[in-house]
């Protein structure tokens, strides 16, 4: 059962405070400190070596690509990159961590003081601060399920040990579960644009821990937070936060005290469970990693990385709206993934009307793909086909009804639009006498609408156009029909 949305009574009295910690695996070919392949899905315990297993005497060497990616992410998130950052050992015992410590960064992280802008409910934007972005390595994986003796044994796959990560920690600036959802959506978009990670949550390349507390409205001091782990989709993070906020308010309202603890989200039950009381930083006995020198990021290197960044989603959206006259909604959909936006832009300039191209791409083709559960890559219709359809519409060479029929054929037969168009060459009625006759009939049959139109409801022209289109099975020349309908109604 999913958690219910927050009740207004709760929100009137209490203010939630949320901060997110996001771990992102970097798309490097090899691991952070050794030459092992950084690959998901290999046979268990095949991508390992003395370094990532932490065998005595093995020494780490920092992967230059990981530094490049982490620096690009820092810049994309508006962070200040430290010229000299320090790796640190974070010591803890866990079966999936054979070294007994994780190489991370502590008081001198790679980058600090960044921000992401998120849209707010009232149509504005809000800046969510990013406290820090630091580099670290991943641990291995405990496999609790899927073996015949899983009831009594846990297996270990150490392939993930030493996978390069960045951890991105937000300021406690987020005030609602919806804002948390937006922050994560924007963050993922930005990281995908930089190309440093595939951000695949199912495969664990993006993971999020959510810190949340509540305080009485008007109180400045933060309440005690709980940290929710094990949440594997942005929707579940929103649900987990909603649940957790309600729970904490109930604890306080019934006279109790919220405990500082780590809680686990159970998506089947739609609730969180206490896992352990929260460990403190001093429990990890952080100390500078003796086997790695300080990481130096020169201004020249920083400049190189800045040049490698593509245009980011938000500015790109604004530019595309201005350049192609797109609706905000279409611009958002087109820019959600960089490759998709690239594909659109590659053809938009050649089209008569880019806004129409966006419309055909998203509504006609996108709608059909969605209904069939297919990706853009699996579409039978090429971008050239989409441009042709949009141009034909724009020139009134086909009606939108005919376009829909042609796309139906494309998807039925798995053929591209130009081929289907050439073969079917839809009939078009361009004889104005014939069209006028049909308009007269529709006008005679709908005196009430005629009266309303003449009283000023001009949008009703579309109704008459639709009626005639229907009578011609979509074959009337749209431009001519529009023109004649207006002429008749005005006349
Ligand atoms: P810890 O020492 O417990 O790891 P940090 O200060 O490092 O806590 O913060 C971890 C995350 O928790 C950050 O994203 C931060 O914004 C958030 N956070 C800190 N205090 C609170 C609070 N009282 N309520 C909600 N989130 C908080
Ligand atoms: Zn290795
Ligand atoms: Mg912390």
Confirm or reject: Cβ of 188 under 6 Å from ligand 1: no
Q: Which of 18, 172, 221 for a ligand 1 pocket mutation test, highest count of atoms within 8 Å of Cβ?
A: 172
Confirm or reject: Cβ of 426 under 6 Å from ligand 1: no
List the single range of 124-138, 164-178, 197-211, 274-288 with lowest mean pLDDT: 274-288
pLDDT of 433 > 70? The answer is yes
SS (HEC) of 138-188: CCCEEECCCCCCCCCCCEEECCCCCCEEEEEEECCCECCHHHHHHHHHHHH
The count of other CB atoms within 10 Å of the CB of residue 458 is 12
CB distance 442 to 467 below 8 Å: yes
Q: What is the pTM of this model?
A: 0.86
User: Rounded mean pLDDT of 409-419?
Assistant: 95
Confirm or reject: Cβ of 258 under 6 Å from ligand 1: no
User: Which ranges of 281-353 would DSSP assign to H, the alpha helix?
Assistant: 299-308, 313-324, 328-335, 338-348
- DSSP designation for 198: -
* CA–CA dist 165, 248 (Å, integer): 32
Alpha-carbon separation of residue 161 from 31, 103, 169 (angstroms)? 8, 11, 22
* CA–CA dist 34, 58 (Å, integer): 10
Model pLDDT, residue 3:
46
User: Rounded mean pLDDT of 356-360?
Assistant: 95
b/e sequence 31-62, b meaning 16+ C-beta within 10 Å: bbbbebebeeeeeeeebbeebbbbeeeeebeb
pLDDT of 479 > 80? The answer is yes
b/e sequence 127-147, b meaning 16+ C-beta within 10 Å: ebbbbbbbbbbbbbbeeeeee
Model pLDDT, residue 2:
43
Confirm or reject: Cβ of 17 under 6 Å from ligand 1: yes
Q: How far apart are the first and last CA of the chain?
A: 61
Confirm or reject: Cβ of 261 under 6 Å from ligand 1: no
List the single range of 89-93, 206-210, 292-296, 425-429 with lowest mean pLDDT: 425-429
What CATH number has the domain spanning 432-490?
Answer: 1.10.10.410
Confirm or reject: Cβ of 245 under 6 Å from ligand 1: no
By the CB criterion, residues less than 5 angstroms from ion ligand 2 are 34, 36, 49, 51-52
* CA–CA dist 15, 36 (Å, integer): 47
Model pLDDT, residue 10:
81
- DSSP designation for 121: T
Ligand in nearest proximity to the CA of 278: 1
Model pLDDT, residue 281:
63
pLDDT of 1 > 60? The answer is no
Beta bridge partners, 332, equal none
Torsion over CA: 300, 302, 303, 308 (sign): positive
What percent of the chain has pLDDT above 90? 75
User: Rounded mean pLDDT of 381-406?
Assistant: 93
* CA–CA dist 424, 419 (Å, integer): 9
Alpha-carbon separation of residue 487 from 436, 438, 474, 484 (angstroms)? 10, 14, 20, 5
Alpha-carbon separation of residue 252 from 3, 10, 271, 274, 325 (angstroms)? 19, 11, 18, 17, 51
* H or E element in which residue 462 lies: helix 461-471
Q: Domain locations in the chain?
A: 8-300, 311-424, 432-490
Nearest residue (by CA) to ligand 1, atom 13, is: 19
Model pLDDT, residue 5:
66
List the single range of 109-118, 182-191, 324-333, 424-433 with lowest mean pLDDT: 424-433
- DSSP designation for 360: I
Torsion over CA: 377, 383, 385, 391 (sign): positive
User: Rounded mean pLDDT of 10-25?
Assistant: 94
Confirm or reject: Cβ of 262 under 6 Å from ligand 1: no
pLDDT of 282 > 80? The answer is no
Confirm or reject: Cβ of 211 under 6 Å from ligand 1: yes
Residue tagged 């690509």 (tokens) = 65
SS3 content of the chain, % helix, strand, coil (to 5): 45, 20, 35
For 190, the token pair is: 């930005």
Chain-centre distance for alpha carbon 461: 40
- The average confidence (pLDDT) of the chain is 92
The region, left, alpha or beta by phi > 0 then psi within -120 to 50, assigned to residue 385 is alpha
Banded pLDDT at 427 (limits 50, 70, 90): confident
Helix (H, G, I), strand (E, B) or coil at 322: helix
Confirm or reject: Cβ of 21 under 6 Å from ligand 1: yes
pLDDT of 294 > 60? The answer is yes
pLDDT of 6 > 80? The answer is no
pLDDT tens string 202-242 = 999 999 999 999 999 999 999 999 999 878 899 999 999 99
pLDDT tens string 302-344 = 999 999 999 999 999 999 999 999 999 999 999 988 999 999 9
Banded pLDDT at 278 (limits 50, 70, 90): low
* CA–CA dist 48, 34 (Å, integer): 9
Ligand in nearest proximity to the CA of 20: 1
Supply the DSSP string of 230-298, one letter for each residue: EE-SHHHHHHHHHHHHHHHHHHHHTT-----EEEEEETTTTEEEEEEEPPPGGGGT-EE-TTSPPEE--
Supply the DSSP string of 413-451, one letter for each residue: HT--HHHHHHHH----B--HHHHHHHHHHHHHH-HHHHH
Ligand in nearest proximity to the CA of 104: 3
Tell me how far the alpha carbon of residue 365 lies from the centroid of ligand 3, in angstroms: 46
Q: Which of 225, 258, 261 for a ligand 1 pocket mutation test, highest count of atoms within 8 Å of Cβ?
A: 225
CB distance 401 to 469 below 8 Å: yes
Model pLDDT, residue 424:
86
pLDDT tens string 436-456 = 888 989 998 998 988 898 888
pLDDT of 91 > 60? The answer is yes
Helix (H, G, I), strand (E, B) or coil at 300: helix
What percent of the chain has pLDDT above 70? 98
Q: Which of 14, 211, 228 for a ligand 1 pocket mutation test, highest count of atoms within 8 Å of Cβ?
A: 211
CB distance 215 to 222 below 8 Å: yes
Model pLDDT, residue 14:
94
Nearest CA to 107 out of 282, 248, 266 is that of 282
pLDDT of 25 > 90? The answer is yes
Model pLDDT, residue 121:
82
Model pLDDT, residue 61:
97
């Amino acid at each position: 059962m999913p958690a219910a949305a927050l009740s207004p009574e709760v929100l009137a009295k209490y203010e939630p405070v949320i901060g997110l910690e996001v771990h992102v695996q970097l798309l490097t070919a090899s691991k952070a400190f050794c030459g092992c392949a950084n690959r998901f899905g290999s046979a268990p315990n095949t991508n390992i070596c003395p370094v990532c297993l932490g065998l005595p005497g093995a020494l780490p060497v920092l992967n230059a690509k990981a530094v490049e990616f982490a620096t690009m992410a820092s810049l994309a998130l508006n962070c200040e990159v430290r010229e000299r950052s320090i790796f640190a050992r974070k010591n803890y015992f866990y079966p999936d961590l054979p070294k007994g410590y994780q190489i991370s960064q502590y008081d001198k992280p790679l980058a600090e003081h960044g921000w992401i802008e998120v849209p707010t409910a009232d149509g504005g934007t809000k800046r969510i601060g990013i406290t820090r972005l630091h580099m670290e390595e991943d641990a291995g994986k405990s496999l609790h399920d899927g073996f015949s003796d899983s009831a009594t044994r846990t297996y270990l796959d150490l392939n993930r040990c030493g996978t390069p990560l960045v951890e991105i920690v937000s300021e406690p600036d987020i005030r609602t579960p919806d804002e948390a959802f937006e922050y994560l959506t924007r963050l993922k978009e930005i990281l995908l644009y930089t190309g440093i990670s595939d951000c695949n949550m199912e495969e664990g390349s993006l993971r999020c821990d959510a810190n949340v507390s509540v305080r009485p409205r008007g109180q400045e001091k933060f309440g005690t937070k709980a940290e929710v782990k094990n949440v594997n989709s942005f929707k579940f993070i929103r649900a987990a936060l909603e649940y957790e906020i309600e729970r904490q308010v109930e604890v306080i309202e019934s006279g109790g005290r919220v405990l500082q603890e780590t809680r686990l989200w159970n998506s089947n039950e739609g609730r969180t469970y206490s896992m352990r009381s929260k460990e403190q930083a001093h429990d990890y006995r952080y100390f500078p990693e003796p086997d790695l020198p300080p990481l130096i990021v020169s201004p020249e290197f920083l400049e190189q990385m800045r040049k490698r960044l593509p245009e980011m989603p938000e500015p790109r959206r604004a530019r595309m709206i201005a350049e192609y006259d797109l609706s905000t909604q279409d611009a958002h959909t087109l820019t959600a993934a960089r490759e998709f936006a690239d594909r659109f832009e590659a053809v938009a300039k050649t089209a008569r009307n880019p806004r129409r191209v966006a419309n055909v791409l998203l509504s006609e083709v996108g709608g059909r793909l969605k209904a069939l559960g297919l990706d853009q890559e699996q579409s039978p219709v090429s971008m050239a086909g989409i441009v042709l359809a949009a141009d034909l519409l724009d020139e009134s060479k086909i009606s939108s009804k005919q376009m829909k029929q042609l796309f139906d054929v494309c998807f039925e037969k798995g053929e591209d639009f130009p081929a289907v168009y050439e073969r079917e060459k839809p009939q078009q009625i361009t004889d104005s006498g014939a069209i006028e006759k049909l308009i007269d009939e529709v006008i005679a049959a709908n005196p009430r609408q005629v009266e309303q139109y003449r009283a000023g409801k001009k949008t009703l022209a579309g109704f008459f156009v639709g009626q005639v289109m229907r009578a011609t099975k979509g074959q009337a020349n749209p431009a001519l029909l529009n023109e004649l309908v207006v002429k008749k109604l005005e006349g």
